[in-house]
Amino acid sequence: NAGVMQNPRHLVRRRGQEARLRCSPMKGHSHVYWYRQLPEEGLKFMVYLQKENIIDESGMPKERFSAEFPKEGPSILRIQQVVRGDSAAYFCASSRDLQETQYFGPGTRLLVL
């Protein structure tokens, strides 16, 4: 049973470009969470999605960031017009149900030049 998959594992962007991070949850999991780990900091919740719905985006910056989890395909975290401060590791987690344990993917390390 494959775990949570994220790609790319590493992403380099120049300031002003767009970054697209993908997350495929574990088989049978319909709940997806995105967290961000800034350098030398712990992980911070960004957004929680179920299929086709954003349930809670209270941790996501209001501008330039968006997330989706379409009926078909992976969840996407999109960052428009990236700035250096967006450089971080972005982790996706999935769970089978709302109260089940979250299992994390390997993360995408974004570097903004």
Could you tell me how many residues of this chain bind other proteins (CB under 8 A)? 27
Q: Hey, what amino acid is at 66? A: S
Give the integer Cα–Cα distance in Å for 113 and 75: 25
Contact present, 105 and 43 (Cβ < 8 Å) = no
Per CB under 8 A, the segment of 22-30, 60-68, 80-88, 89-97 that binds other proteins is 89-97
The reply on whether position 27 binds other proteins by CB under 8 A is: no
Residues 20/75, Cβ–Cβ less than 8 Å: no
Q: Which of 5, 59, 64, 111 binds other proteins (CB under 8 A)?
A: 59
Could you say whether residue 25 binds other proteins (CB under 8 A)?
A: no
Least spacing, CB of residue 101 vs other proteins, in Å: 5
Structure tokens at 36: 């961000």
For position 90 contacting other proteins by CB under 8 A, the verdict is no
